A and B are shown apart, each in its own frame.
Chain A
Amino acid sequence: MKMKYTLKYITSVIGLFVVFQLQAQQKKIDLNPKDTITHMESYGIRLGMDFSKKILGQLKPDFEGLELVADFRLSQTLYLAAELGNEKKTITEDTYTFTPEGSYFKIGIDQNTYDNWYGMNNMIHLGGRLAYAKYSQTINEFAVFDTDRYWNPEGFGVSDQTLPSYTGLSAMWLEVVFGAKVELFANIFLNASVRGGYLLSHDNNTNFPNNWVPGFNAVTEESKFGVGYNYSISYLIPIFKKPKVYKESEEAKKKRLQTASEEKSIKKAQRASDKEEKKSSKQSL
């Protein structure tokens, strides 16, 4: 008697497994499961300083400069960026030396074009700036150009006059920025960028032209273009975190759409077959 019960139990257990297996088989095995782990990225203000200007100031006695850099992350790839600086440079031309001195402010957007791997936080960015500088120019010394060499047979005579310095000058320009930011240690970044400037307006109505504008660098007489660079170290102050938005590749998108349509057609066929089965069973009845 006892034996019979056991057998019944075993067979019913087997039957149970069979049912489960049937159910499991119906569910398709997903070979490309979607990653459900979200990677959180830091958002915040990055503050830094241009160290190239400091080094240049140490090496060359005719240059003094300080530039502070900052950016704020707006979205996955966009950053609001700004630079604030002060420069003083003594320039020696053939017959005169002069010192432009002043401050500048640049504000704009950087777009990160580099797709980081998991955990990386680097940038290769393209951006634009609108910049404004307020400065003064002082002529330190000048020699008078004279083709007659009677009084000054060797070179031109340095004038004993002092010229007034030109103050309250301003300039405005646009900048295209191309650069890279690399995370050296946690939240500490090494940045480098090259800039091409296009001068929109500058005060050139004084007795002396703008040969050099702080932040813009050299101004030539017949062109509105200029070049600059920036090497800085910055520190990220994290404020909040947001999940990283992964960009779907073309291939993955194609695959996803294909599987979806396949699933749809399978379901359709199944429904059709179900209907037919029902019909046939009805007919047989």
Chain B
Amino acid sequence: MKRSILFLVIALGCFWSCEKDDICIAGDTPMMRITFVNFIDETLEKAPERLLIVGKDKTTPITTISPGSSSITEALIPLVPNTNQTEYYLVTNASIDSEGNVSGNIDALILSYTPNPKYISKACGYIVSYDNLIPILTPDTDNWIKKITVLSPSITNENEVHLKIYH
């Protein structure tokens, strides 16, 4: 009797302490895909000169594209998943001085959206997709971005193009 009770206690203790080692592989929050298009001939892709994309209040440019490259016609841009707005600075002819200040033609782009949370699993928790994507270009004296069109207002996967930027 005593031995069986001891066994029961050990077995129960095991039930409590053993927990599955969870790694999330089932899903991920998608990024926004943008393409750069020639403003004059809309069928042609056009890479901006020495492009740099920096988030507002961030000290480093996004790493999904190589910063300062002149051959980028398509880019994946991460959005802030836990709020409903992301602000980016898109810089052409960019150069960074020794103190880290960015100079060039800076255009501010505000992206507003509605995050749509979706439960995946115990390991992943929640991911979001985005609905009602609206880009707002802040006007300044010389915007290099001439026009923005939304191809897909909801971002559920990274394979389709969501935004077209004309310049």
Report which A residues bind B (CB closer than 8 A). Answer: 93-96, 142-148, 150-152, 156-161, 163, 194, 207-209, 211, 220-221, 227, 229
Contact = CB atoms under 8 A, between A and B. Distances in A.
Interface string B53-95: 0010010001110000000000000111111101000000000
B62 A150 contact: yes
Given A194-B8, A227-B12, A145 B118 contact: no
A145 B125 contact: yes
Contacts of A163: 117
- Nearest 5 Cβ contacts at the A-B interface: A95-B125, A157-B82, A144-B81, A146-B29, A148-B78
A115 B137 CA distance: 84
A142 B80 contact: no
A93 B120 CA distance: 13
A144 B78 contact: no
13 contacts: A93-B122, A96-B126, A143-B125, A143-B126, A144-B117, A146-B81, A148-B78, A150-B78, A157-B81, A158-B82, A159-B81, A209-B119, A227-B15
Task: Label chain A's interface by main secondary structure.
Answer: loop
Q: How large is the interface on B (under 10, 10 to 19, 20 to 34, 35 or more residues)?
A: 35 or more
Nearest to A211: B122
Task: Label chain B's interface by main secondary structure.
Answer: loop
B24 to A, nearest CB: 6
Interface in B1-47: 8, 12, 15, 20, 22, 24, 27-29, 31
Contacts of B12: 194, 227, 229
B110 to A, nearest CB: 15
B124 interface: yes
B111 interface: no
A150 B55 contact: yes
Contacts of A211: 122
Given A144-B29, A144-B127, A207 B118 contact: yes
Contact of A96 (B29, B64, B125, B128): B125
Given A160-B83, A163-B117, A207-B119, A148 B29 contact: yes
A114 to B, nearest CB: 10
A146 B125 contact: no
Given A95-B124, A150-B58, A159-B126, A145 B28 contact: yes
Contacts of A157: 80-83
B54 to A, nearest CB: 10
A145 B119 contact: no
